[in-house]
Structure 1
Amino acid sequence: MYSVHRNYIYPNIHKEDTAMAEQDILQSVYPYIGGQENVSRTIPRKGTLYLMLKDAGVVNLAAVNQVQGVISAELERGRLTLQLEGKEQEVPGMAEKRNGAELAKEILELVGGEENVISLTHCVTRLRFELKNVKKAQTEQLKKTNGVLGVMVAGGQYQVLIGARVQEIYDEVCKITRFAEPSKQQSEENKPFYSKILPFIAAAFSPSAMMLCAAGMIKGILALITALGWMSKEAGIYVLLSGIANAPFFFLPALIGYNIAKRMKSDIFTAVTVGLALCIPSINGVDIELFGHVFNNTYTSTVLPAFFTVILAVYAERFLNKHLPDMVKGFLTPMLIFVIVVPIGYMLVGPAANLLADGVSFVMNLLYNFNHILSDVVIGGFYQILVVLGVHSVIVLPALMDVMAGTPSPNYASLGVVSFAVLGVTLGILCKTKSKKLKELALPAAVSALFGVTEPATYAIVMPRMKYLVVTCVSSAIACGVGGLFGFAVYTIPGFGIFKIPGYIDPANPVQSLIVASGVMLLATALGFIITYVMFNDAQYGDDKE
């Protein structure tokens, strides 16, 4: 038997100081829980011991609560939680940094084990599981896990909030499981259609998000430095960097093809080539007569045409591989896809997909067209709520597609303001509180929010003090309304936090757009800070008791 202590796994032998006191308490507890042999794992935390039991039915909980050194004992789903005297309790997600492999193993265990997982992906801050049976996940215990910022179920996904370490933890989970790529297994639950389609659409975009952000930042910075006269657009370095930054957007259909092929476990080279074929300059923006009709389509920097064409190619590939002889299907399958599926995509699927994209954009912009300031206020005010509920992709994806297609998006501009409102609220609490413990939490959370990762601040600082969630919404709404007055928008995929600002730079008016965007971010931060500083009182939420 082993116990996990901080960042390492040790045998269950006596330790110095704290560990010795914990062992003494355990020795007193064992007789009431079926003995030491009934404990499969012991996990110490600051002020807490978690005991994973083989048989929870033998526990005498009343007797455990009477053991000296135990403040309280709770038993839930085979896990006994002991709160200890004289120890500072940890705040979920903000405790000492844990070893990634250890955290990954514990998360996997608490979501029901590998056998309960259909697939696993991740976004910027969350592990996104598709589970066979959500009821098998131990959600409340997972929320208390050191290193986990929160848990939510939305859009057919079981989302575990990790924060900036999400890539590391994702890699560690993949090392000990079979699902580095999504599984073909089907869920045991009958999920509604919308809960299946949203994760699929997100999987087509999310893996490329960081690269597009990086390219967008380069485009924004180049627009600014040329407007300031620091560089000419004819300069070799400008031509080179501009070409590099444009590449991911120009060849976006190929990236979409790659992501879908991974998601559907299809041949990646075929899918990427289908995407590349839609980008060839000789068939984009030129008249092509086919079957008595003249087509003039452009698919570079588009999303939905490649999305649906590659899906069609995947199903065609499965059909052909099933029916063609093994001797020829290795080359004949991709050849038939190229000569049949790609032309269908160019002539039929692509135009229909572009019409769909235009329709989605029209619906999303209805409120903006009615009153653009009201639209900015509503999106800025409610986006944080959507993030907390885990359904923000409903508004993010359509706005993201607009930007990818080269259309400036006011909706996407409003989404970027929220993190600065969270920053302001966190700084207000940091400056006002006299609680040493709360200051220690708020400082790293504020730094994280500055760089666009708001989960530590949201779930460790703001959410436990609900009125300040309202403050973040109000601050963001007001700042977005002011931005709407000046017509602020996102012109290219931005980064996160302070690195969002280059995405707000209008190539036609870079200096003014930079001033407006920076002013809106500062306003959101200032409002969050001032309102919080005036309202906050340690005694309201027991922060005066350390």
Structure 2
Amino acid sequence: MADENRQIAEELIEAVGGQENISSVAHCATRLRIMVKDREKIDQPRVEELDKVKGAFYNAGQFQVIFGTGTVNRIHEQVVALGVSESSKSEQKEETKNQGNAIQRLLRTFGDIFVPIIPVLVATGLFMGLRGLITNLMPGALPENFILYTQVLTDTAFAFLPALIAWSAFRVFGGSPVIGIVLGLMLVNPALPNAYDVGSGDADPIMFLGFIPVIGYQGSVLPAFIAGYFGAKLEKWLRQRVPEALDLILTPFLTLLIMITAALFFLGPIFSAVESGIMVGATFVLELPFGLSGLIIGGLHQVIVITGVHHIFNLFEIQLLAEDGLNPFNALITAGIAAQGGAALAVGLKTKSKKLKTLALPSSLSAFLGITEPAIFGVNLRYIKPFAMALIGGAAGGFFAALFNLQATGMAITVIPGTLLYVDSLLSVALYALTNIIAAGVAFALTWTVGFSDDMLDK
């Protein structure tokens, strides 16, 4: 096995232009990430023909080769053993952060900020689903203390969401994360009128100077993001100018004083209004009648995934959950993901090519677990028609989910693992299962009948 992996590593290095064309190599859970000096020297078709390779593409300044979990670690070891310089993902991010146009860089930054806080929001969503299941099974039988305990589990992350976002923004933009945490906590200080109470009419904002509304920012995303960005920049600017002997005292003092003043009286009201406008537009699409939102989002989401800018949806999903703990967007994108798995499964079962079969079948399983990259780049997009059939399947599944207003209690997990976000009721679980079955089934049937044949292999 080691000799086989070493041979694959040798052929891979040669196919990307040799060691002299490789700056560094790193890996994530499924992909080998290669920083190359000259993209034109990459022989991508040759790379895709290598054993164990499930697909390859160039994105965000990296040539990314999909091997799958486990395999990628072993190939990475062999590539490094052959003398290629190793780098961490964070180091590669530093190399690529200035690549791409302004919009791509902005969306990459959104991803860098929101991805690290997603695990706690996933956990919160699971807690919400489990609480819903328990309360539905035993209505009125649960003691008040137990309900209070579940509220600690489900409400904490969103009550202090600005602190999480400000912490992550300070981390990404080069400030001190602990200052970001404190700044975020100031935005939700109990001394301020609670944003949820103001929204429900149970409390009034404090009017500063008679016209500036001052409230807490519980559940807000954009004000904390902007405060974190400017706060990190201000801290770095101050550290260059404050005498070293006073840096420990003055820099955090001035950063917090200036930023909380700006956030409460200026940045907060402005970007809270911007955030509300974005939510109105996004909610308008989600609330389109007759299942149209599902047709659009379920059908097109995976196209956006290909561009690599889908992290922008993290902001939208977080805001949806912060509002009422429910996320209708998850079911719609789940349909698109399940459909990619259905199309890849059809290719794997229909083809007589042993190599394609060993590529497509594991890729379909990966998609059913919520990771579509092997299915998209390794199979469906390579032959184009299966990808198109999967888009139709995603639209069909999304249409069904939208008709029944299916809503998750969390985010970031989809298809089979995503079932955990719908366990608040048996009806939700059943509708979620049907959404996936419809999406994958339509994609499978269309791919099997008109979307793929082995004749495509020659093309």
Q: So what's the TM-score if we normalise by structure 2?
A: 0.80
Question: Is the 1:449–1:457 Cα contact (8 Å) retained in structure 2?
Answer: yes
Provide the residue aligned with 1:399 in structure 2: 316
Q: 1:297 aligns with which of 215, 232, 239?
A: 215
Among 327, 332, 352, the residue aligned to 1:414 = 332
Structure-2 residue corresponding to 1:476: 394
CA–CA separation in structure 1 for the residues paired with 2:41 and 2:261: 46
**Matched pairs, number:** 438
Q: Which is strand-richer, 1 or 2? A: 1
The within-5 A match list for 1:175-194 is 176-177=86-87, 180=90, 192-194=101-103
Partner of 1:462: 380
| 2:197 aligned residue | none
How far apart are 1:241 and its partner, in Å?
A: 4.5
Q: SS at 2:431's partner residue? A: helix
Q: Distance in 2 between matches of 1:528 and 1:365?
A: 27
Q: Tell me the amino acid that sits aligned with residue 311 of structure 1.
A: Y
Give the C-alpha shift of residue 249 in structure 1: 2.6
Compared CA separation, residues 145 and 482, structure 1 to 2 (3 A): same
- Give me the identity figure in percent: 23
Contact 1:149 1:456 in 2 (8 A): yes
Q: Does structure 2 conserve the Cα–Cα contact (< 8 Å) formed by 1:403 and 1:491?
A: no
Structure 1 gaps, min length 5:
9-43, 53-75, 80-105
Is 1:280 matched up with 2:189? yes
Partner of 2:430 in structure 1?
Answer: 515
In structure 1, C-alpha distance between the alignment counterparts of 2:193 and 2:39, rounded to whole Å? 50
1:5 corresponds to: 3
- Match 2:405 to one of 475, 480, 487: 487
2:105 corresponds in structure 1 to: 196
Q: 369-378 or 303-312: which moved more?
A: 369-378
Partner of 2:447: 532
Alpha-carbon distance, 1:132 to partner = 10
**Does the 8 Å CA contact 1:133/1:187 hold for their aligned counterparts?**
no
Give the match's secondary structure for 1:45: helix
Q: Is the 2:219–2:319 contact (alpha carbons within 8 Å) kept by the matching residues of 1?
A: no
CA distance in 2, matches of 1:312, 1:185: 23
CA RMSD in angstroms comes to 3.9
1:43-442 alignment runs, 5 A limit: 44-45=7-8, 49=11, 52=14, 78-79=17-18, 112-114=22-24, 135=39, 138=42, 140=44, 149-152=54-57, 158=62, 160=64, 162=66, 164=69, 176-177=86-87, 180=90, 192-229=101-138, 232=141, 234=143, 239-285=148-194, 287-288=205-206, 290-293=208-211, 295-371=213-289, 373-394=291-312, 396-407=313-324, 408-442=326-360
Shift of 1:378: 1.6
Separation (CA, whole Å) in 2 of partners of 1:183 and 1:529? 37
Q: Is the 8 A contact 2:294 2:332 kept in 1?
A: yes
- Once the two structures are TM-superposed, the CA of residue 489 in structure 1 deviates from its matched residue by 3.2
Q: Deviations over 1:384-433 (max 9, x none)?
A: 22222333335x24532432423544444311211211222233344444
Report the TM-score, using the length of structure 1 for normalisation: 0.68
2:339 is the alignment partner of 1:445: no
SS at match of 2:323: coil
Match of 1:24 in 2: none
From the CA coordinates, give the structure whose radius of gyration is larger.
1
The structure showing larger relative contact order (alpha-carbon pairs under 8 Å, at least 6 residues apart) is: 2
Q: SS of the counterpart of 1:295? A: strand
Question: What secondary structure sits across from 1:453 in the alignment?
Answer: coil
Deviation (angstroms), 1:295:
3.4
SS in 1 for 2:191: helix
**Is 1:132–1:186's contact at 8 Å kept on the other side of the alignment?**
no
Alpha-carbon offset, residue 450 of structure 1: 1.9
